[in-house]
Structure 1
């Protein structure tokens, strides 16, 4: 078959492309910047809202799979454009171009949810169901797999020393492993079963959020979890704040979807797989366990370290601006050769630099140069004091020896963040 897939670079889409190509199908992917190969076509769901735009791209295509989806709106990437208007244009064009079948990847709960995400998905589903061609609307539950946003979020939560649970963690979910999802979808596409119907793809049984996190924690071979229940009002307030943080998966929409639950019958999944889907305790394979545990722990340990270092710089700046006796600061500067009019310039200039470094750690997204600056500043301070005020090495509180820990921590952050700030633009 000739299969066209939108959202081919996404968590589900890229795995589906590999699976279908491995099965011998010709797979054409829709990308914003199409290359020179015949298996790529250009397409942008923020702009291509007219069916006429899509018709030439669909000539000779047997099956269209729409795997595009966003969890949060940003600029022109709105739920209306990405989930509703562009898919509707694509579906209409498929009818005109003679496409035999459309597979729409929707979401479990889209037909009853009241969030913008659910309603926009449901609008496209309803439109597709009205068209005169074969269609299948796939409704996956929470999809779990290495590299996925859901897996990253839930393994992070499960790895915390104290796990926060919204409303006590009684929300019911039914996660499905991404490998089971892809296998079920491949069977669905190749056999043309379940035409003109909605297909639920979910794990074998519903579990509460609390139970799910306990099972993940045990699978990662971490000590028994300790939980803290977060009141609903506080959770809503936290979600309202978190939705303004870059990269955060928590906002009022995702919280509402979590509270609504995400469960369904596993019968469709079992029929397509010919077996039971993986249970929650089977979602992490043995060979992935150690890597996922480290990734989950670093996901909160690195920010904790980063914020701690930022606080050290900010507090040092505040102390230097007057909380520490100014005269004593001048006396220390005089001992390293800084006197007269230069003394206040150096004292308050260094204090402002400390404050700026601390704030920069908190607000800048590309911090590579900032870590290097800190290494230089702390290294410079340490060398000067070593030669001019060597008694501080013998101070019982270790003001200089602690610099070695700071240098090591800053270099670790510089090294571990390097892949992100080196490749961003």
Structure 2
């Protein structure tokens, strides 16, 4: 059996590829950038081939027929949760898969497993659900054995939804739309993978639609409370109801940030909620799927709790550092008496026009550092901004220590507070994503 995984570099596709690779299956994996995906894959590559394919460009059926073989098991795990440009949902979830499914029928593959979503129908309110539902409908009409897998929220260590819900669960107070009464049926990644493995091995005939869900529905509020308990908190969070209109407005604003899980589309999906019987998945697993009350193993609690808090604290810390630099500019340029600022500069040897230029130039530079903290991309922050800020603080501290050592004894601690400021900048620097070029340079070449 050869397994073809479309979207093998994504969250689900990567998990499927790893599971099949450890079972020794021959794999044909696709990704937008095959070389990059191969270099970053952490599973055995002995029996794996990679090709570049981007469903957003809607490769024609003829492209797929060149790579597919009779008897293949084809898994379409490609998908995006948020559109980066208009029409992306339709291309990646509908038009691209239609070409793939037609090629599968023409070649005579053994089985197509379509990773859809619980709630996906061509008439859904959400563009995400509509595009998935349209592809599902086309696949069911094709002359090929197929399984439309419709997962609910999937919990996995690297999943966007898991990171979001864990970061919500640690908060002592929550504002939830409608008080968190929406029904969910989250399923663990391991159960999704096990279900797909079972389908691929059985290769059933005909067409079927299977809900991949947890053992029981749970409200959003209860789900977060159970996650909070698993993360080691004895007391429940204080939950306040948030008006739906205000929630949608906040989600729309959050959607302006490309790294956000929430936008107007995902907010609507969350408000809709979804649940389904778990009997079909139980049948394929031969057991009940894992309960959401057992999603987090004890050994993973400390790391996940830290990661959840960092989701909140890193942006707050970054804004705090930015405001320190911006406030320093405001104070230096006019709020603090200028003659007293010039008197301080005189003590380090600067006077006259030189002192005036130094005071104004340093203030503008502080402003630039503050704006850069908020506006620069991560790569520039790592390479330039954070080391520059640390070097500047070190220079200020050394100069003041030499000229005005009594500031170390000041009760308000103007110099000693530089220590936690440096620690904060150091943490922000350490938590920036590694440079891609460095990662690729360090990655071993495939045999």
- Superposition deviation, residue 18 in structure 1: 2.2
- Superposition deviation, residue 28 in structure 1: 1.2
CA deviations over 1:179-236 (Å, ceiling 9, x no partner):
0111111112211347412110100111111111111011010242233332222211
In structure 1, stretches of 5+ residues that fail to align are: none
Q: How many residue pairs end up in the alignment?
A: 425
Distance 1:357 1:232, change over 3 A: same
The CA distance in 2 between the partners of 1:233 and 1:287, in whole Å, is 40
Q: Is the 8 A contact 2:175 2:239 kept in 1?
A: yes
The CA distance in 2 between the partners of 1:370 and 1:223, in whole Å, is 41
Q: Is the 8 A contact 2:70 2:110 kept in 1?
A: no
Q: Does 2:78 match 1:68?
A: yes
CA deviations over 1:224-273 (Å, ceiling 9, x no partner):
22333322222111111111113111100000000000211111111111
Distance 1:376 1:293, change over 3 A: same
Query: 1:285 is matched with which residue?
Result: 297
Q: TM-score under structure 2 normalisation? A: 0.90
Query: 1:359 is matched with which residue?
Result: 371
Distance 1:357 1:86, change over 3 A: same
The CA distance in 2 between the partners of 1:113 and 1:237, in whole Å, is 21
Q: Is the 8 A contact 1:34 1:40 kept in 2?
A: yes
Query: 2:444 is matched with which residue?
Result: none
Which one of 301, 308, 315 corresponds to residue 303 of structure 1? 315
Query: 2:95 is matched with which residue?
Result: 85
Deviates more, 1:298-307 or 1:133-142: 298-307
The 5 Å alignment of 1:364-403 reads 364-366=376-378, 367-368=381-382, 369-403=384-418
Which one of 162, 180, 186 corresponds to residue 169 of structure 1? 180
The CA distance in 2 between the partners of 1:180 and 1:58, in whole Å, is 27
Q: Does 2:230 match 1:216?
A: no
Query: 1:234 is matched with which residue?
Result: 246
Q: TM-score under structure 1 normalisation? A: 0.95
Local SS of the residue matching 2:67? helix
Local SS of the residue matching 2:175? strand
Q: Is the 8 A contact 1:41 1:57 kept in 2?
A: no
The CA distance in 2 between the partners of 1:195 and 1:100, in whole Å, is 11
Query: 1:405 is matched with which residue?
Result: 420
Query: 2:14 is matched with which residue?
Result: 14
Query: 2:155 is matched with which residue?
Result: 144
Which one of 125, 130, 134 corresponds to residue 114 of structure 1? 125
In structure 2, stretches of 5+ residues that fail to align are: 39-46, 441-447
Q: Over aligned residues, Cα RMSD in angstroms?
A: 2.0
- Superposition deviation, residue 110 in structure 1: 0.6
- Superposition deviation, residue 130 in structure 1: 1.3
The CA distance in 1 between the partners of 2:58 and 2:245, in whole Å, is 40
The CA distance in 2 between the partners of 1:422 and 1:311, in whole Å, is 31
Distance 1:422 1:316, change over 3 A: farther
Distance 1:396 1:24, change over 3 A: closer
Local SS of the residue matching 2:432? helix
